[in-house]
Copies of this chain bind each other. A is one copy, B any other.
Amino acid sequence: MLSKKTKYGLKALTFLASQPNREPIQIAEVAKHENISQKFLESILLTLRRNGFLGSKKGKGGGYYLIKDPSEIQMTSVMRVLEGPIAMVPCVSLNFYEKCDDCPDEGICSVNKLMLKVRDANLEVYRNTTLADLITQ
């Protein structure tokens, strides 16, 4: 299952990307427009800012805004920041590799074999989809 964090984060990014300009938009406005708990969204937007997707401005007239062109934001990076590893098991993860402690040999592991295919298929989708592709005209 996709976590609500990722779901909300994607919706927020899309909303910001669909703005006519890059003026700061308040958290409250995003939350209202996308039906998201404002406090929860607050922490999500913070994560997105810390990871280089958003800029922010404090005080009156402040808010969040995209700092890249939507067509330059790949879903691979968005998913990794919000949802975590793209691989379903650590032993096939490119960025978060870990050996399974219960598995003596990855080379003959059926789970490894299947999840490698799944990872590649997902990567293919995420690499070829940018934020710009998700905006409905």
Contacts and interface: CB of A to CB of B under 8 A. Distances in A.
A135 interface: yes
Contacts of A109: 11
Interface of A: 1-2, 7, 10-11, 13-14, 34-36, 75, 88-89, 102-104, 107-111, 113-115, 117-118, 121-122, 124-126, 129, 133-136
State the main secondary structure of chain A at its contact with B.
Answer: helix
Nearest to A75: B114
Nearest to A17: B110
Contacts of A13: 110
Given A107-B136, A114-B134, A117-B129, 6 more contacts: A2-B88, A35-B102, A36-B102, A108-B136, A118-B126, A121-B124
